[in-house]
A and B are shown apart, each in its own frame.
Chain A
């Protein structure tokens, strides 16, 4: 698998009020961004526990994005 073809699975913890809304408006205003992000909506970034991130890696995510 060459690096150009490789599509990493990225897990995203997005805050309902900030990044999630930003992602939404990015979609509405038709900005292009990579489809590799699998989103988990949290009600606040403060809800994200260290163990969530580690578990994400255990389950095979190549990268984890936390957005507040």
Chain B
């Protein structure tokens, strides 16, 4: 996780020092305090996001949104899964080794995803606009919508209403799973956008 995020941040032009992954057990309060103090000092030195990188806030935001799209990309995730499998096979969990494997397997995919056509750049913005409305929209809501395209408009209308009714129920039922579903729905949106 660490290595992949660092790689993507690097591509986006964000300094790696802004991310820290550390371990402190429940009994290590002094260590935790030290870690937080050090990290805060480190970030304070870097200044606000974009200052140490020499980028404008708007520019860095668009770059990060692109990075978010890259990291949610199905292909990238697939390669990431393969890389983790390779690490597990070797049973060598040192940071250096994992970083090496990730770099070896993923540099190409990540750079390719970053240099993907500009239409990808528009998608994150689209997603953001849609998200609040269809936050917890489950798979069911999407499926009838697809069917509706094929069927005449009269039949489509009641189905859409049903889907709308299902949404609030689903929200109540699974608030914890909302985050996971969000991810699913973003992937779905991507595929539908391509179809259109």
Number of interface residues of B (CB under 8 A): 47
- 9-residue interface stretch from B25-33, B85-93, B161-169, B188-196: B25-33
B29 / chain A contacts, CB cutoff of 8 Å: 22-23, 25-26, 29, 31
Main secondary structure of the interface of B (DSSP, over half): helix
B33 / chain A contacts, CB cutoff of 8 Å: 26, 31-33
Does A8 lie within 8 Å of B25, measured CB to CB? no
CB contact under 8 A between A3 and B45, given known A31-B30, A32-B33, A50-B8: yes
B22 / chain A contacts, CB cutoff of 8 Å: 19, 65-68
Interface range on chain A: under 10, 10 to 19, 20 to 34, or 35 or more?
35 or more
A21 touches B (CB below 8 Å): yes
Q: How far is the CB of B130 from chain A (nearest CB, A)?
A: 16
Does B68 lie within 8 Å of A58, measured CB to CB? yes
Does A57 lie within 8 Å of B64, measured CB to CB? yes
Does B40 lie within 8 Å of A55, measured CB to CB? no
Does B47 lie within 8 Å of A25, measured CB to CB? no
Q: How far is the CB of A35 from chain B (nearest CB, A)?
A: 9
Does B68 lie within 8 Å of A55, measured CB to CB? yes
Digit string of B51-78 for contact with A (CB within 8 Å is 1, else 0)?
A: 0000000000100110110011000000
